[in-house]
Amino acid sequence: MKSKMQQTSELGSDWWNDSNDHEELQHAVNEGAVGATSNPVITCAAVKNHPDVWLPVIDKMIESNSTGSEDDILWDLIDEVGKKAADILQPVYEKTHGQKGKLSLQVNPKYYRNSGLMFEQGKYLASLAPNIAVKCPALPAGIAALEKLTSNGICINATVSFTVTQAVAVAEAVERGLNEAEKNGFNIENLTPYVTIMVGRIDDHLKRINQSEKNKVEPEIIDWASIAIFKNAYKIFQEKGYRSKLLAAAFRNHMHWSELVGGDIVISMPYEWWNKFNASDIEVINRINDPVDSEIIDKLSNNFNDFNRAFNEDGMTIEEFEFFGASKHTMDTFLNGYDEFIQIIRSRMINR
């Protein structure tokens, strides 16, 4: 009997492991995963989950780089973990002639306001392996960096993205970048740009608003917000023929998988989630084009202005992306997670 993940793939939706943890990723690839994602927070989690593997590596890096800062060691480690994860995905990359098997590596979250720094680091990250996709936030400077990276023949993935407006803005930037890359003589056949919508994080944002307003809307209604947003973005991407592929990430419930199956998309699932889904009795059928109930849409629209901003194609200006509640909360999480990673490096460095 085929697993739920195998059925997902057969219905046309790719799935990734939402971590570059090597043990998890190898298991995922064995089960049919065709990609993986990472960021400093995810890599930090891999270190904490396997201290026996990675703390000696950190210690060795500290010893061999006597003048290196905490940040230098951190990024040396991210490079090391990333290259190994890319190696695990390399057979998928080769089998699909570069169309799948990508590992997303994220630029330093501290650079989120500086497109030049993101571009330069993105070029370096892309040089680590042929199957790297560079992640930058779908905020003003990040979108500029994503366009420039694409124009230089580098595969990208937009993150810190929650809204239809952000997804469309990135897709338009990527189209410009792809056209420029072709003009510049780059081979774009293996460029498979990804545009993430962090489905769980937009639901989280609306639930925080709901809680501050004394829970006027049932949480199970809010769970449909991200589904409606993602499906609307998918419809627009199909209509406009964008060459970018939407990616769902930041899982909170099974609908972030089950309601999106059937789309020409990527579903990036944490290890524990896709294993849970495989063991479930949820029917795997094509639901991507099934509309969200209009009464649910109306309730969300009438109660949450930020749902309207996220759902509508013209819901925000690019200048507003950085100050959208979900963006601020996620960047704060990323930056705090980076600081936690630095603390691990600092402790090993000082307490040798």
Number of domains in the chain: 1
Q: How many CB atoms lie within 10 A of CB 323?
A: 10
Number of CB atoms found within 10 A of residue 189's CB: 9
* DSSP sequence for 174-219: HHHHHHHHHHTT---TT---EEEEEHHHHHHHHHHHHHHTT--S-H
The overall pTM is greater than 0.85: yes
pLDDT average, residue stretch 26-52? 95
- Domain interval for residue 309: 4-350
Q: Which tokens hold the place of 32?
A: 């049919």
Query: Could you tell me the CATH number of the domain that includes residue 94?
Result: 3.20.20.70
Task: Name the token pair of 166.
Answer: 């952000």
pLDDT in tens, 65-93: 999 999 999 999 999 999 999 999 999 99
Statement: residue 1 has pLDDT above 90: no
For residue range 161-178, list pLDDT tens digits in order: 999 999 999 999 999 999
Q: Residues 104-115: pLDDT tens digits?
A: 999 999 999 999
Tell me if 277 sits within 8 A of 254, measured CB to CB. Answer: yes
310 CA to centre of own chain: 17
State residue 213's pLDDT score.
86
